[in-house]
Amino acid sequence: MNERASNLLTGIEKRDIRSLSKAITLLESSLQEDALDANDLLDACSQLAQKEETHRIAITGVPGVGKSTFIEVLGLRYIAQGKRVAVLAIDPSSSRTSGSILGDKTRMERLSTEANAFIRPSAAAHTLGGVASKTREAIVLCEAAGFDVIIIETVGVGQSETAVRDMSDTFVLMMLAGAGDELQGIKRGIMEMADVMLINKVEEANLAMARSAKSEYRMALHMLGEDDYNWNPEVYMMSALHGTGIEEALHGIEIHKAFINFESRQSDRRAKQNITWFDEAMKVLAYQRFYAQAGLRERIAEMREMVAAGKKSPLAAARALNQA
């Protein structure tokens, strides 16, 4: 390991936030000269990470549902319990400079001033293997730096949830009462992934509607059936802004943690997740190596023209380029 990587590693071991931040930036780098250090660092951190004791919580839901507001409350609770909390935000649609990320930061104002909190906005969307794969690496680094609770905030639309489910112990889905499933962009597939469901913004004016939404969701979850571990997801009502129902919601998350910690379910789940990670990394690296071939770009352009002119079928053209 060279000096830069080993300095960062020392910093991470000392729980230095600046080193952690720099290390994550290094891992996000797409520069060829950073790749080796990034690998060394990730490897060393995987060995360091106190894996079993940490809790990886994914919070998902449509923009505006109140994820960041809830994470601030949740994070402060964990800190009050003496834990160290890292928040990683994934927004597949945004780059680092976008307004939504800045908005998140201000919404976690109190959390961000805590010495035992670390808040990291989304990686740039064009990083190799996608934002989600970088988040996975960031989790490893945060755990190596002694963070006990890792909260991953992600928008509940698009394809990122499956990836996020694959890197969390507890998958929390936040909903609004009465907005209608279609309106919320919540697909059945996402509901199937939920370990805990929270209906947010439940206040006096919509209490009745929230109650009926709750029983509808409970019924829907029940019909979806149990997951691999026979866990029955529960639905809670709360107002992250006004602080009502928070105890119950936290309790729901904690019960799930206790459940997965039982009989090595968590290590089992993480082992499966690591296999998925490996499979994805294989694809990304194979893809990268393939496209790094000299002269490939010209050959692709040539084949495209032949396909367009009807001189070669698309499949035959692709096969021709893949026979190396």
Ligand X SMILES: Nc1nc2c(ncn2[C@@H]2O[C@H](COP(=O)(O)OP(=O)(O)O)[C@@H](O)[C@H]2O)c(=O)[nH]1
Tell me the DSSP string of 108-165: THHHHT-TTEEEEPPPPTTSTTHHHHHHHHHHHHHHHTT-SEEEEEEESSSSHHHHHH
Among Mg ion, ligand X, none, the one that 252 touches (CB under a kind-dependent 5 to 8 A) is none
- Closer of 24 and 62 to ligand X (Cβ): 62
* Phi, psi at 232, each rounded to 5°: -105, 110
Q: How far is the CB of 24 from ligand X (least distance, A)?
A: 21
Map the footprint of ligand X across residues 219-248, applying CB under 6 A.
239-241
Q: How far is the CB of 289 from ligand X (least distance, A)?
A: 38
The window from 33-41, 102-110, 216-224, 244-252 that contacts Mg ion (CB under 5 A) reads 102-110
CA distances (Å), origin 234, targets 150, 243, 296: 21, 19, 52
Q: Interface with Mg ion includes 234 (CB under 5 A)?
A: no
The window from 31-39, 103-111, 137-145, 282-290 that contacts Mg ion (CB under 5 A) reads 103-111
Q: How many CB atoms lie within 10 A of CB 95?
A: 13
Q: How far is the CB of 178 from ligand X (least distance, A)?
A: 13
> What is the end-to-end Cα distance of the chain in Å, rounded?
34
Q: Interface with ligand X includes 63 (CB under 6 A)?
A: yes
- Closer of 59 and 253 to Mg ion (Cβ): 59
Q: Interface with ligand X includes 130 (CB under 6 A)?
A: no
Q: Which residue is nearest to Mg ion (CB)?
A: 68
**Distance in angstroms (rounded) separating the CA atoms of residues 235 and 221:** 9
Q: Which amino acid type is present at position 43?
A: D
Binding-site string for Mg ion from residue 61 to residue 90, where x marks contact by CB under 5 A and - marks none: ------xx----------------------
Q: Interface with ligand X includes 158 (CB under 6 A)?
A: no
Q: Interface with ligand X includes 201 (CB under 6 A)?
A: yes
Q: Interface with ligand X includes 269 (CB under 6 A)?
A: no
Q: Interface with ligand X includes 66 (CB under 6 A)?
A: yes
Binding-site string for ligand X from residue 95 to residue 124, where x marks contact by CB under 6 A and - marks none: ------------x-----------------
Q: How far is the CB of 160 from ligand X (least distance, A)?
A: 14
Among Mg ion, ligand X, none, the one that 201 touches (CB under a kind-dependent 5 to 8 A) is ligand X
Smallest CA-to-CA distance from 147 within 24, 276, 28 is with: 24
Among Mg ion, ligand X, none, the one that 56 touches (CB under a kind-dependent 5 to 8 A) is none
**Distance in angstroms (rounded) separating the CA atoms of residues 139 and 202:** 32
Here the contacts of 255-263 (C-beta below 8 Å, separation 24 or greater) are 256/170, 256/195, 256/196, 256/231, 257/55, 257/169, 257/170, 259/229, 259/231, 260/169, 260/170, 260/229, 260/231
Q: Interface with ligand X includes 64 (CB under 6 A)?
A: yes
CA distances (Å), origin 74, targets 171, 208, 247, 286, 290: 14, 26, 10, 40, 44
CB 173 within 8 A of CB 197: yes
Q: Which two tokens stand for residue 105?
A: 């930061």
Contact pick of 41, 44, 61, 317 for ligand X (by CB under 6 A): 61
Q: Interface with Mg ion includes 104 (CB under 5 A)?
A: yes
Chain centroid offset of residue 62 CA: 14
Q: In the complex, which residues of this chain contact ligand X (CB under 6 A)?
A: 61, 63-69, 107, 200-201, 203, 239-241
Q: In the complex, which residues of this chain contact Mg ion (CB under 5 A)?
A: 67-68, 104
